[in-house]
C-alpha cells in the first residue's frame, strides 16, 4: 500500500515568508509525528498528533511554528516569518496507534530559507 507522502519535496523561500508543509500519513494510522533534521542538530521531535489532537507540542522551537491535522488524516506544518535557521529537512511519520508501534517515515521536505 501507499506509504507516508510529503509535499513539496523541496521548498526554497525568502526570509520572512510563511511556508506550509504537508503530510499524508498511511491510511488508518491514528498517530502522526513531525521531526526536523538539520545539520549539526540531528533529528529532533517537533509535534505529535493522536487523531486531530496534539497532546505533545513540546518540540516546536518557537511560536512561529504551528501544525494542524484535519479528519484524522492530513497534517500541515506552518512556519511563519521564516528565518535562515529554519532551513532543514522536515520529516513526517505515522504509526497505527502510538509510539510503541513502528513509525513509518515519509521522504521529507527540504526547506531552504535564503
Partner 1 sequence: KQEVTQIPAALSVPEGENLVLNCSFTDSAIYNLQWFRQDPGKGLTSLLLIQSSQREQTSGRLNASLDKSSGRSTLYIAASQPGDSATYLCAVTHGFQKLVFGTGTRLLVSP
- Could you list the residues that contact partner 1 (CB under 8 A)? 4, 31, 33, 35, 42-45, 48, 50, 55-56, 59, 91, 93, 98-100, 102-108
Q: What's the grid cell of residue 98?
A: 502510538
| Three-state DSSP class for residue 68 | strand
In the complex with partner 1, the residue whose CB is nearer, 80 or 87, is 87
As a whole number of angstroms, the distance between CA 20 and CA 11 comes to 9
In the complex with partner 1, the residue whose CB is nearer, 55 or 61, is 55
Q: Which of 97, 80, 89, 79 is nearest to 25 (CA)?
A: 97
Q: What's the grid cell of residue 21?
A: 508543509
In the complex with partner 1, the residue whose CB is nearer, 50 or 76, is 50
Amino acid at each position: 500500500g501507499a506509504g507516508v507522502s510529503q509535499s513539496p519535496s523541496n521548498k526554497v523561500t525568502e526570509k520572512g515568508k510563511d511556508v506550509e508543509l504537508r503530510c499524508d500519513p498511511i491510511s488508518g494510522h491514528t498517530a502522526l509525528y513531525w521531526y526536523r533534521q538539520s545539520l549539526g542538530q540531528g533529528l529532533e521531535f517537533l509535534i505529535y498528533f493522536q487523531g486531530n489532537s496534539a497532546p505533545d507540542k513540546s518540540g516546536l522551537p518557537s511560536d512561529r511554528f504551528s501544525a494542524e491535522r484535519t479528519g484524522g488524516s492530513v497534517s500541515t506544518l506552518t512556519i511563519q516569518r521564516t528565518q535562515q535557521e529554519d532551513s532543514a529537512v522536515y520529516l513526517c511519520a505515522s504509526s497505527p496507534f502510538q509510539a510503541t508501534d513502528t513509525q513509518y517515515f515519509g521522504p521529507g521536505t527540504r526547506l531552504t530559507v535564503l
